[in-house]
Structure 1
Amino acid sequence: MTFSRRSFLRGAQAAAVAAFAAPFSGAAHADTSRTLRIGYQKGTPLTLLKAQRSLDKPLAARGFDIAWTEFPAGPPLLEAMNAGSIDLGYTGSPPPIFAQAAGSRIVYLAAEPAGPHNEAIIVLDGSPLKSVADLKGRTVAFARGSSSNYLIVAALEKAGLTYADIKPAFLSPADARAAFEGGKVDAWGIWDPYLAVVQQTLDVRTIADYASGIVQPYSFFLGAPDFAKAHPEVLSDVLSQVARGDAWTTSHRGDAAQLIAREIRVPQPIVERYLARSTFGLLPVNSTVLGAQQRVADTFRRANVIPRAIQVADIAHPVSFTR
């Protein structure tokens, strides 16, 4: 199988733009009252459920069908949720913090651990930059409000630098890839599966990830408050299937990689690469999880990245699930 360096990211971006527009158009589902509208990103636990169609039967038994919408990153996904276009989604740690600080209507439902190498700040192999300290005065690409935004802020703080010491380039994964490869930016903060793609297709070096002594946050399943209040049993069904999918993936990573690769149209070795370094296991939104998320929010506030202090526990809406 041949694989273009740019095809995956460009395709993901184009699909996401089209998908994001659909809920606002006349082509949207005529009656969403009995439709669970799920926003997902490539390679996340929801991708496996979509590939396996494991939600179809339990939700059909409750009289619900499913509409899937793909997004290139967490911030636009939560913008769509706040706009009333999706009911459930999955993102990294920072997007809900930015959304809450902006007054968006979202709630935390459940959490997932993240692997220490599933996200990184990378440079081209020939770059003179050797450490985070070398980023001072340099241009760093990342998606604003994404999970990489936190990695960059936390890595700078650990290195004795501030957010003001770099020149941020707020770019989508596809645009960041082009700028990075073309030498228009000095470094790039990016997550899997995009990270696995670039590691497979370019000569790059990691100068920081969560194995660099940075406290790692969780990822989250998030919901629209009205839907979460009205249909907790539907969300419980989804999360229970996520928990079972996580358990299955842990012991069947090769099979899971095959399914996900087919679903997201990425070569299987790339999916195998990031699944091998991933951590699985659905978690309730408890005091430990919320405490870790509050530390992320406080880090952003110290760096003046978000406009006000927030209490993440204010939008916690834990949903029960079974394994």
Structure 2
Amino acid sequence: MTVTIGVHSSNPSLYHLYHLSRLGFAQEELAALGETVAFFPYTNGVRTGELLTRGVIDFGGTGSTPPVTAQAAGHDLVYTAVSAPRPGHGALLVPEDGPVRSVADLAGATVHLAIGSWQTHLIAKALDDAGLSYADDITAVRSGTDSERQLRAGEIGAWVAQGPELAAARRKGGLRTLVATGDVISDRSVFFTRRDFAESRPEIVEALTRALRRADDWAAANPRAAAEIAAADLGGSADDWETALRALPWRIEAVSDEFIAEQQEAADIFHRTGFIDGPVEVAAARARATGTAGPKAA
């Protein structure tokens, strides 16, 4: 059997597992089970649930929002592992001397963010905590290469930046962190698969999680080399990438009750604001059979 791993640049662990394939972490772990590995690169993590259901990939990972929206769309997923919280991964930025001084001041504003990613979770939760609604009180617009310029020019109210873009924006100055991610959500990387795959081949899930941990260990020990890989592939400066990668925990954990509760809170907010059409029971995305509920903590 060939196990296909979905990879995209927004999931650092999977991204580096793919680009470190020459080191053979996934290949070695699966070879011990008599299996081989293939990688399927794609650009939009929001597609992960659909790609799993269609059988295009067998294993994938995103931030916190895509698995919730995938469940809402009817995809039968199982969480397999999560990263430790990533409080320094991103932030909601506003002009340093602009009129927005609190989340409440965003009422009526245009906010640029990666819609459908963990950033939706961040904004929806921050607004909800302030008594505002993602659906009614802001205009959410998908961020792009011009978002930072528009923010600095006062054309938009706020922008969610992450990774090297956040590092570069802070280095330039003139912008202020309105919401630090870690003050609102845990912002974990989330790994998941199809239910039939999780429950019929738990040993493969465990092998893939070991491979992810090995890739994370390498990135944690070699942040400059990891930054140079990302800069050469995705653009930006290696210095900004290194700043961003050093802010990540590089630790994979088991799926916990605490994580399920975090996801359920997000799902409830998404439903209440109309981001998803119906309620989602996040706990349903756990494996049913004893011994296949996910990897043991390292």
Cα distance in 2 for partners of 1:223, 1:38 equals 10
The residue number in structure 1 matching 2:290 is none
Q: CA deviation at 1:100?
A: 0.7
Task: Report the AA paired with residue 254 of structure 1.
Answer: R
Q: CA deviation at 1:231?
A: 3.3
Q: Are 2:64 and 2:188, in contact at CA under 8 Å, matched by a contact in 1?
A: yes
| Length-normalised TM-score, structure 1 | 0.77
Cα distance in 2 for partners of 1:112, 1:229 equals 21
Task: Report the AA paired with residue 294 of structure 1.
Answer: Q
> Where do 1:138-153 residues align within 5 Å?
138-153=109-124
| Length-normalised TM-score, structure 2 | 0.83
Offset from partner CA, 1:139-188 (integer Å, 9 cap, x none): 1122332111111111112223222111222x254475676577553222
SS at match of 2:261: helix
> Where do 1:22-33 residues align within 5 Å?
none
The residue number in structure 2 matching 1:40 is 8
The residue number in structure 1 matching 2:60 is 89
CA RMSD of aligned residues (A): 2.8
The residue number in structure 2 matching 1:290 is 260
Cα distance in 1 for partners of 2:228, 2:119 equals 27
Cα distance in 2 for partners of 1:172, 1:223 equals 28
Q: Are 1:48 and 1:245, in contact at CA under 8 Å, matched by a contact in 2?
A: yes
1:119 to 90, 110, 125: 90
Listed as ranges, the gaps of 5+ residues in structure 2 are 288-292
Task: Report the AA paired with residue 126 of structure 2.
Answer: A
Does 1:99 pair with 2:67?
no
Task: Report the AA paired with residue 54 of structure 2.
Answer: A
1:63 to 20, 28, 35: 35
Cα distance in 2 for partners of 1:106, 1:299 equals 20
The residue number in structure 1 matching 2:206 is 236
Cα distance in 2 for partners of 1:160, 1:65 equals 47
Q: CA deviation at 1:232?
A: 2.8
SS at match of 1:55: helix
Cα distance in 1 for partners of 2:196, 2:150 equals 40
The residue number in structure 2 matching 1:247 is 217
Q: CA deviation at 1:121?
A: 1.4
Cα distance in 2 for partners of 1:187, 1:166 equals 10
Q: CA deviation at 1:92?
A: 1.0
Cα distance in 2 for partners of 1:183, 1:79 equals 37
Q: CA deviation at 1:65?
A: 2.8
Cα distance in 1 for partners of 2:211, 2:205 equals 10
Q: CA deviation at 1:199?
A: 4.1
1:50 to 18, 34, 39: 18
The residue number in structure 1 matching 2:137 is 165
Does 1:299 pair with 2:274?
no
Q: CA deviation at 1:97?
A: 0.9
Give the total of aligned pairs: 288
Task: Report the AA paired with residue 103 of structure 1.
Answer: G
Q: Are 1:112 and 1:280, in contact at CA under 8 Å, matched by a contact in 2?
A: yes
Q: Are 1:149 and 1:189, in contact at CA under 8 Å, matched by a contact in 2?
A: no
The residue number in structure 2 matching 1:5 is none
> Cα 1:195–1:245, aligned 2, differ >3 Å: closer, same or farther?
same
Offset from partner CA, 1:175-226 (integer Å, 9 cap, x none): 7567657755322224334433544567432211224x32424321011233
Q: Are 1:42 and 1:264, in contact at CA under 8 Å, matched by a contact in 2?
A: no
Percent identical pairs in the alignment equals 29
Task: Report the AA paired with residue 167 of structure 1.
Answer: T
> Cα 1:195–1:70, aligned 2, differ >3 Å: closer, same or farther?
farther
